[in-house]
Amino acid sequence: MVKVLVCDQVDITRLSLGPSFEVDYRPTLSREELLSVAGNYEVLVVRSRTKVDREVLERANRLKLVARPGTGLDNVDVGFAKERGVAVVNSPESLVEAVAEQVVLVMLALSRKLVQADTGTRSGKWEKNVLVGRELKGKVLGVVGFGRIGRRIAEIGRALGMTILAYDVVPVPQDVTGPLGARMVPLDEIFSSSDYITLHVPLAPDTVHMVDAPRIATMKESSVLVNMSRGGVVDEDALASALRAGTIGGAALDVFEKEPPSGTILSAPNVILTPHIGGQTEEAQANAIEVVGEKVRAFFKAP
């Protein structure tokens, strides 16, 4: 019997692990409690709340697998897990549609000044002649990180009549870019040429503050930046300064250097801030757990 500890809130019925697994569901487990019991389990299932760091991995001497429904692995020390022979799986494929739709949602909301229109109308204003927006059709969409999510956003953008520029650190073959109408370009060209820029890269040493003050300074005055990837990829103070100065048109952040966020970005104009909900749809969450369950069963060759 494989013992599984589910440390965070998930719909465990969707894990569908079957009779080969004994599942212990403890979604409010404290760190101290986790450290005391980690050695009893072969599998840890976590979301973003629980940190599976070096200390936890050292205590978990029976551990064979860490499973994370969703995309990010920022809370798992993947390198140290590998050193200890512990496999790590996640389910990035399950969140593609949810994140892509939210990116397009905030692009449209910023372009049509939706938040300002709603707030003003509720307060008794009738700013019909002030709230002149822009259409996405005919604009340039720059996609930074051309994986599953980036490609889906490119597909939607092309359907809306946008020109697609893309950047990735790994080569993307023509049979992928061609059908999407995407042209691979250097990162600097993404920022200088795009009307809308959407980020889909992991947080790594070479992506920390990848979008800093000098890079933001190369953006068009009307351009919009969207970050649905990882907090820390964008220098939030530099972004807030640019928004206040009006040197870029707007921004939308769903992820932050510190969550919940604090600091200058909270009072910046023309920015939509959301609480890391890019993948928070009923369909995506259900699928994320189901996919992870399949990967756990496959790892242990269980039916």
Give the pLDDT mean for 91-120.
97
Residues 156 and 28 in one domain: no
Residues 26 and 153 in one domain: no
200 assigned to active site: no
Percentage with pLDDT > 90 across the chain:
96
Residues 159 and 86 in one domain: no
Pick the closest to residue 200 from 247, 244, 157 (CA basis): 157
Between CA 33 and CA 292 the distance in angstroms is 24
Pick the closest to residue 147 from 201, 111, 95, 193 (CA basis): 201
Give the pLDDT mean for 285-299.
96
Q: What is the CATH number of the domain that holds 152?
A: 3.40.50.720
Residues 129 and 164 in one domain: yes
Query: 47, 215, 230, 297: which is the annotated catalytic residue?
Result: 230
pTM of the predicted structure, to 2 decimals? 0.89
259 assigned to active site: yes
Residues 142 and 246 in one domain: yes
230 assigned to active site: yes
pLDDT digits (tens, 9 = 90+) for 181-204: 999 999 999 999 999 999 999 888
**pLDDT of 72:** 77
Residue 245, CA distances (Å) to 30, 249, 268, 269 in order = 44, 10, 10, 10
Pick the closest to residue 280 from 97, 19, 29, 21 (CA basis): 97
Residue 27 lies in a domain: yes
Residues 6+ apart with CB under 8 A from 83: none
**pLDDT of 46:** 97
pLDDT at 287 over 90: yes
Residues 34 and 164 in one domain: no
**Identity (one letter) of the amino acid at 138?**
G
Residues 81 and 127 in one domain: no
Query: 83, 127, 221, 259: which is the annotated catalytic residue?
Result: 259
**pLDDT of 303:** 78
Q: Which domain holds residue 33?
A: 2-90+282-299
